Amino acid sequence: MLAAIGADSIEELFKDVPAAALLDEAMALPPHAGELEVERAISVMADKNLHAGAVPFFLGAGNYRHHIPASADHLIQRGEFLTAYTPYQPEVSQGTLQAVFEFQTQVALITDMEVANASLYDGATACSEGAMMACRVTRRSKVILSGSVHPHYGEVTRTNAQFMDLQVETLPADPFGSEDLAGHLDENTACVVVQNPGFFGQIRDYTELAQACHDAGALLVMVVNEVVSLGLVKAPGAMGADIVAAEGQSLGNPLTFGGPHVGLFAVRERLLRQMPGRLAGETVDEDGKRGWVLTLSTREQHIRREKATSNICTNSGLCALAFTIHLTLLGEAGFTRLAKLNHAKAVQLADRLDVLEGVEVINDTFFNEFTLRLAKPAAAVVEALAERNILAGVPVSRLLPSDGTLDNLLLVAATETTKDADVDTLCTGLAEVL
């Protein structure tokens, strides 16, 4: 290979790499092996994972286990979808563009917004893009980040903001949904970012906050971690949100140990020109037949980088397609029934846990996830239950380091996949560990 490319040695091949970045000796890796041996070795490693389908599972915190119809997996593996690339040439990309158009329509419907884009990477980048967009629209530089927003979403938003000379005011964690967001508004506020249901599971009606934001010349950005909640909870658009950023993983996309995900993004039509990503639109061809094109695609590959609305380079096309297929199979009535079933499962779980000694459900409202206050630090309890093959939930301290006030809080989620036997196992195990 060196001879074919005209290099005399490995050292010459890597001569442009700084010396400080090169290793002095070979890495401690095993010698090469055949494909069968490698598969066996990797399988042994993979078996060390305790995956969601094998044990009672109550993890949530932005990544939720739902049943995915077999037909969804089958359809996204069709060659024309699985290998499709960015639809720069609409005349040969009609199927991809129509799928994107249907996706946008669904997102606009369930969020009660006027326009949705062709998806972003995930909920966290969508949240960040929503905050940045609000700053462009209002020409202001302050973002107020509610204590209800997922810590990862806040982290991504702050990371992006620091390179754009924007100020992000992050409010303290808000387990009880009692923060006064309107009291933080001032003449420099571009937007308030909230999450509903919140990180701790609380559900709030932000209609009054939306009005307060508008009175102050600011926008309301609403984040939705669990998209299935939109089948039951009042939609962001109905509350007056200007920008909606959501995670679509729950529909069509498995947990897969944390990704890939699909970011949903919807706005009011008046804000369309500042929306990040791309937009597929409906048109007619020269023969008058229905067709689809990229109507809006203000990305850095298309125009000067300094004029681009964001640095989002693609959309999670296959994940978005899985979302669309799953939601299509459900239909509007099925989507609502799924949401009701999730809530009923969570209510059943909360009722069972709340009567245990050393356990308190602190939520007054929730959808399919809520917060427990335990008599012991939650992280240690979760580890003890994991040793019993129970994935009991997410300790808040794992995602929100604090002065110790959050150490005993545990996030617990239930979905339509939660069995009665799983609830029994968790209750028994938790009582014993506590």
Instruction: Say whether pLDDT at 4 is over 70.
Output: yes
Going by pLDDT thresholds of 50, 70 and 90, the confidence category of residue 304 is low
Percentage of residues in the chain having pLDDT higher than 70: 97
pLDDT at 302 over 60: no
For 180-191, the pLDDT digits (tens) are: 999 999 999 999
Average pLDDT for 210-222: 98
Pick the range with the lowest mean pLDDT from 89-93, 211-215, 230-234, 351-355. 89-93
What ranges do the domains of the chain cover?
A: 70-327, 331-433
Q: Rounded to an integer, what distance in angstroms lies between the CA atom of residue 89 and that of residue 107? A: 24
pLDDT digits (tens, 9 = 90+) for 44-68: 999 998 889 899 999 999 999 999 9
- What does the pLDDT look like over 322-335, one tens digit per residue? 999 999 999 999 99
Average model confidence (pLDDT) across the chain: 94
pLDDT over 90 (residue 203): yes
End-to-end CA distance of the chain: give it in Å, rounded.
62
- Band (pLDDT 50/70/90 cuts) for residue 303 is low
The pLDDT, as a whole number, for residue 409 is 98
Query: How many whole angstroms separate alpha carbon 269 and alpha carbon 46?
Result: 47
CA Rg value for the chain: 24
Q: Tell me the C-alpha distance between 102 and 143, whole Å.
A: 32
Residue 158 has pLDDT above 60, yes or no: yes
Q: Using a pLDDT cut of 90, give the percent of the chain over it.
A: 82
pLDDT number for residue 178: 87
| Residue, of 139 and 23, whose pLDDT is higher | 139
> pLDDT at position 305, please?
65
State how far the Cα of 103 lies from the Cα of 111, in Å rounded to an integer: 12
For residues 331 and 310, what is the distance between their CA atoms, to the nearest angstrom?
Answer: 33
- What is the C-alpha separation between 293 and 92, in angstroms, rounded? 11
Q: Which of 114, 101, 100 is nearest to 320 (CA)?
A: 100
In contact, 393 and 372? CB cutoff 8 Å:
yes
- Average pLDDT (5-21) is 91
How confident is the model at residue 311, as a pLDDT? 72
For residue 300, pLDDT beyond 70: no
Structural tokens at position 264: 């949903």
Give the largest Cα separation in the chain, rounded: 74
pLDDT at 109: 98
What share of residues in the chain are helix, strand, coil (percent, to 5)? 40, 15, 45
Comparing 428 with 403, the larger pLDDT belongs to 428
Task: State phi, psi for 303 to the nearest 5 degrees.
Answer: -135, 175
Q: What mean pLDDT is predicted for residues 350-365?
A: 97
User: pLDDT at position 334, please?
Assistant: 98
DSSP E strands, 62-141? 115-116
In this predicted model, what pLDDT tens digit does every residue of 75-126 receive, in sequence order? 999 988 888 777 778 888 899 999 999 999 999 999 999 999 999 999 999 9
pLDDT, average across residues 11-33: 90
- The model's pTM is 0.91
Query: Kind and range of the H or E element at 280?
Result: strand 279-284
| Closest to 94 measured CA to CA, from 325, 277, 290, 326 | 290
Helices marked H in 165-278 — which ranges?
207-215, 236-239
User: Which CATH number applies to 70-327?
Assistant: 3.40.640.10
The stretch 343-360 carries a mean pLDDT of: 98
* In contact, 263 and 225? CB cutoff 8 Å: no
Q: CA 80, 85, 90, 92 torsion: positive or negative?
A: negative
Predicted confidence (pLDDT) at residue 312 exceeds the cutoff of 80? no
Question: Which pLDDT score, from 0 to 100, does residue 238 have?
Answer: 98
Whole-number Cα distances in Å, 93 to 83, 84, 150, 427: 12, 8, 36, 52
Contact 81, 87 (CB under 8 A): no
Assign domain 331-433 to its CATH architecture. Alpha-Beta Complex (3.90)
Cross-strand bridge partners of residue 192: 144, 220
